[in-house]
Structure 1
Amino acid sequence: MACSWKIARVHSLLLLSIAGFIILNCVYTEKSKSLKSPFRPVDVLPLLPRQVSWPALTKLNEAQNLLPKFVGAAAATNNSILQWSGSCFYNNTAWLVLHNNSGTEFGGGTLHIKVSNAHSWTCMDLYIFSTPYRVTWDYYFLSREHTLEFESWETQAELEYVKNRGVSIFLLPAGMLGTLRALWEVFPLFSNSEWGENSNLKFLEKHMDTSFEVRPEPWVTNITVDDIHSGDFLVLSKIRGRWGAFETLEKWVTGSYAGHTAVCLRDSEGKLWVAESGHEVDGEDIIAIMPWEEWWEFELTKDDANPQIALLPLHPDQRASFNETAAWEYAKSMSGKPYGYHNLIFSWIDTVNDNFPEPLDAHMVASVMTVWTQMMPAYAGNLWNEALNKRLGTQNLTLPEILVEVERRGSSFGELLAKPEQDNWVYEDGMSASCVAYVFELYKAAGLFGKLSSKIQVTEFTIKDAYSVKFFENDPRRLPKWCDEGDTEQRPFCQIRGKYRMELPGYNTVEPYAHMNEKCESLPTEYYRTPGC
């Protein structure tokens, strides 16, 4: 015990010394950037013992450091030269020279990259390079001219693309070691443990400026099922394991304070059911309708993501206009169909620039899609290829062909991503509905949008958009007596499971309007949206 205490004390002193050295170095660097340090403390921290280095490194780097920053494209036209400042080398230039040294049909090219004026002798810059047909990477440690060879272009289309648009260049702002360090913030999110849960909560507190208050027990409500009605909305926030991690990242980019949804329905005999897109059966996520008891039992005993769950009752006026028969017809028509992966990411992206946390942008999205397409072509096609084709008005184009076609039309990939999804699009496996789109398609069928129904595309809704629509109860006095039992804070909805008090900023505030949620921003941490977007 004494030995362990001494080690901890030594580590603490070392960390304080390192932190002080880093601060002094940063202050000095700001005052005289023209003088090059022989090294920076952050460059050599990884060489120290792990017990010393990792705590310091995780404080110095964040998840955003995993996201490469688009610095530009080096093209072969008009002798264009790209210039930028890197993380290590302050002065960088790049240009592309086409040739046919390989004697192939479409020839190849050499990307020249000249780097200079490093801020220290121990730093280096890490880059990713991409065209619609390939992604590669390289790193630069020495101040000189470097080259990256493209032995041969795959098609005439790739040749024409690099002639006009060039090779895209992305900088990993934290470098190789910094990127590995940034992984340390993201990796724990996927852990199905108390460590993973705490990591998810800290990530959201840090990157969304939110908080998690422990609410009074009981953390599971003793529900009287007779008080739940058709159309009542269920929102879930999962905070550990695989689904907890994915929902955490989804919340960060969309501003939603929940990550999954479902809806309640009563049949003609009064039995309560839950309709849900994203129910797992034999490893496949499908649309399903199940008895309330089965759904609730699963969430209480089998869902290892520790879901926090809220019930959002419909407002009495909305409940009175809810066409239960039409809602059931829609629900049954979709039962058994695959989860709506086709429109999953497009509900988030409404604008060319204002939905991407820095340094993410449309260029980076295209490159990530290119990598995924090469690694998992079937999965990638399901996620975006068919949806992108629909936005272009084309059929069966591959992702590289889509990117080339966008360039040919004089448009941009960012503009293509921002085109609104249409509820009536039919994909290869049928109509596509994510968890929130499924619920709000059901609301459309039930008549809640009235005459606006044909002018609203609910496949454009994020979960935040959904719980913000003014459909729900606004008077806590009309809620069931068991709602938020024991909680000291009265809210207009019922939290029925979870240790942490669920917050839904913007809840029940937006009146439906034509083309709603088709052009909305979502930048952390304010997540401001222009009225009427």
Structure 2
Amino acid sequence: MQRSEYELPYYKIFPKYLAAVPPGTVLEFDNLTCWHNLKLSTSRIHTNQIELTIEHKQGESLLCHRSFVISTGAHTQVVELIGNGVKTISLTSDGSPEQDWDLLERGPRVFVHLMTPEQLTYNIGATLALFQAELNPGSTTSDDMNREFLKSFVGIDMPLRNNAPDVLDLPEEVFKNGDTIDILRLNGLSPCIAWAMGAATGHTAVALWRADRLYICESTSKSSDWSINGIQCNPYPAWIEMARNAISYHAVFAPLDRTNGEELLDMDKVWQFVDKHVGLDYGFEVVLMGWLDTVRDNLPCPKDRDQDYCLEPEHFEMLFHFVEKVSPEAARVFVPAVQIRAEVPFDTTLLYAYYTAALKGIDPIEIYSIPEQEGWLYQTTRDGNPVIAESMVCNDFVCNVWEEGGLFNGTNVNCAETSVNDNYKLNIYQDPELRHQLCKDQDPENPNCQLLGKYSLRLDSQPGVLPRYNYVPPTDEMFGSCPSMAPDYLAPQDC
């Protein structure tokens, strides 16, 4: 039986942000956890040192137990509190301007997990189970969990296809320059992207012809199922074979509208652009930026029967202050994007970027919502060698192929700000009734042509309120401030 979002544990792992507590502040919270009263206060005990006090009183039982996270730019600490009592934590600045500003002016940020540590541990384990296909290569055991997650949290239904072939044998000549292949893998990551962005997919690629040979070009990362890293073009037979062998891979073919002519792109300019970028690493530096258009209205909020466990703007700062210290590679997905917005060197810290932005009047929690700009250059690699270059995820790359080829007729949509479903929202696609007969015969109810996948994948109907596919006319700078909140994913018509 299908369980509701209220009954499922997935992603109910975010601590609630309580407050920043600068020296001299006293804050009280009533009836927030199993303690009916929490008091936070901070006092300055030395020139560069403060003491944070957490008073936890009026517990519902002697076993009242919750986890707190204390975060500054230099310090991250998890504190377990049990029963009634008082906990004091000393925090010190190294005397640098950024640490003094962070600790003595802003104060430590305090978060609390609203559930017990035992429930939190269970929820983390259940969420990780969605990623079985990545954590345990070759596994398909998480397919049904991911389908349940998509239906309950996102509103996407993926029923079993009838007599689905391994690959729909669509003739290569059906694919034209600029047509896309839109992809969802039941691997945890793609469904997470779908949930956050309001998409039916998690990846996209573009068809391009060269010297009578069809290539599928994309920006992707090397994985257990994909042996090639970065921006790449593979001959269609090789690409479809890799896709067929990838676990839980679902793909639909979405051709462009050719009512006004067969050739929509200037292919000399397209290949000039592609050749310039082939070999560049996947766009980890910008992977979150097409999604995070607003401060709060893109952040998912898993719902439980008693509480909401929302992702909050303050979580990014808390998380990536910690991540950049333990894994600079993992920090690539956020820190460089903040640094470029703050106009600081890439060899500085996230805290220094926030401090510099604050001096310019930019609130730290708002900086990620500054639109990404085409032409911004990041530290990345090309064929494994360090370079300074543009950073593009899959949808950025495909959109740029279209733009360079002239599909938008001079309109600057700012491809750097697209999310994975923004591309297929654009009203540039073929009337579904014109799809190939093989597509109609295999999946008569699907207006898209499904090439791969055990379960049905559609772009037109879900998630959220209709319309979802092929309806937004391209306009200048159109995707810079678009909300994406489940379950309705309501957005202005130009988003």
Identify the structure with the greater helix proportion. Answer: 1
Return the match for 1:449 from 397, 401, 408: 408
User: What amino acid is aligned across from residue 400 of structure 1 in structure 2?
Assistant: L
User: What amino acid is aligned across from residue 523 of structure 1 in structure 2?
Assistant: M
Superposed displacement of residue 485, structure 1: 3.1
2:233 aligns with 289
Q: Secondary structure at the match of 2:141?
A: helix
Provide the rounded CA distance (Å) in 1 between the counterparts of 2:456 and 2:261. Answer: 26
Superposed displacement of residue 183, structure 1: 1.6
2:4 corresponds to 1:68: no
Provide the rounded CA distance (Å) in 1 between the counterparts of 2:256 and 2:163. Answer: 26
Return the match for 2:218 from 270, 276, 287: 276
Superposed displacement of residue 318, structure 1: 7.0
Provide the rounded CA distance (Å) in 2 between the counterparts of 1:131 and 1:159. Answer: 11
Change in 2 beyond 3 A, CA 1:432/1:146: same
After TM superposition, list the pairs within 5 Å mapping 1:402-413 onto structure 2: 402-413=353-364
Provide the rounded CA distance (Å) in 2 between the counterparts of 1:142 and 1:293. Answer: 63
After TM superposition, list the pairs within 5 Å mapping 1:187-336 onto structure 2: 187-192=128-133, 193-219=139-165, 220-239=167-186, 244-267=187-210, 269-278=211-220, 280=222, 285-301=229-245, 303-304=246-247, 306-316=248-258, 317=260, 319-336=262-279
Superposed displacement of residue 155, structure 1: 3.5
Per-residue CA distance 1:17-72 (angstroms, 9 max, x = gap): xxxxxxxxxxxxxxxxxxxxxxxxxxxxxxxxxxxxxxx9x986623421111111
Provide the rounded CA distance (Å) in 2 between the counterparts of 1:108 and 1:283. Answer: 50
Provide the rounded CA distance (Å) in 1 between the counterparts of 2:227 and 2:345. Answer: 29
Change in 2 beyond 3 A, CA 1:148/1:61: farther
Provide the rounded CA distance (Å) in 2 between the counterparts of 1:233 and 1:200. Answer: 24
2:304 corresponds to 1:361: no
Q: Secondary structure at the match of 1:482?
A: helix
Superposed displacement of residue 383, structure 1: 2.5
After TM superposition, list the pairs within 5 Å mapping 1:68-107 onto structure 2: 68-76=15-23, 79-85=24-30, 86-100=32-46, 107=48
Identity %: 21
Provide the rounded CA distance (Å) in 1 between the counterparts of 2:9 and 2:244. Answer: 34
Per-residue CA distance 1:117-160 (angstroms, 9 max, x = gap): 22333221211010111211102212122212225546442222
Change in 2 beyond 3 A, CA 1:475/1:196: closer
Per-residue CA distance 1:182-217 (angstroms, 9 max, x = gap): 123212112133321111111111211221112222
Change in 2 beyond 3 A, CA 1:343/1:279: closer
1:340 aligns with 283
Return the match for 1:439 from 398, 403, 421: 398
1:485 aligns with 441
Provide the rounded CA distance (Å) in 1 between the counterparts of 2:128 and 2:68. Answer: 22
CA contact (8 A) 2:221 2:281 kept: no
CA contact (8 A) 2:182 2:204 kept: yes
The runs of 5 or more residues in structure 1 that have no matched partner are 1-55, 101-105
User: What amino acid is aligned across from residue 309 of structure 1 in structure 2?
Assistant: A
1:459 aligns with 416
1:495 aligns with 450
User: What amino acid is aligned across from residue 277 of structure 1 in structure 2?
Assistant: S
Per-residue CA distance 1:425-481 (angstroms, 9 max, x = gap): 12233111101111110000010111213xx211111111111111111241x2222
CA contact (8 A) 1:215 1:500 kept: yes
Provide the rounded CA distance (Å) in 2 between the counterparts of 1:321 and 1:221. Answer: 26
The structure with the larger Rg is: 1
Provide the rounded CA distance (Å) in 2 between the counterparts of 1:319 and 1:88. Answer: 66
Provide the rounded CA distance (Å) in 1 between the counterparts of 2:60 and 2:221. Answer: 52
1:136 aligns with 77
User: What amino acid is aligned across from residue 71 of structure 1 in structure 2?
Assistant: L
Q: Secondary structure at the match of 1:353?
A: coil
Provide the rounded CA distance (Å) in 2 between the counterparts of 1:283 and 1:490. Answer: 31
Provide the rounded CA distance (Å) in 1 between the counterparts of 2:10 and 2:171. Answer: 43
User: What amino acid is aligned across from residue 389 of structure 1 in structure 2?
Assistant: Q
Superposed displacement of residue 501, structure 1: 1.3
CA RMSD, 1 decimal = 2.1
CA contact (8 A) 1:132 1:404 kept: no
* Runs of 4+ more than 4 Å apart: 58-61, 151-154, 281-284
2:382 aligns with none
2:426 corresponds to 1:473: no
1:163 aligns with 104
CA contact (8 A) 2:48 2:95 kept: no
2:67 corresponds to 1:126: yes
CA contact (8 A) 2:74 2:99 kept: yes
CA contact (8 A) 1:343 1:383 kept: yes
CA contact (8 A) 1:279 1:288 kept: no
Q: Secondary structure at the match of 1:346?
A: coil
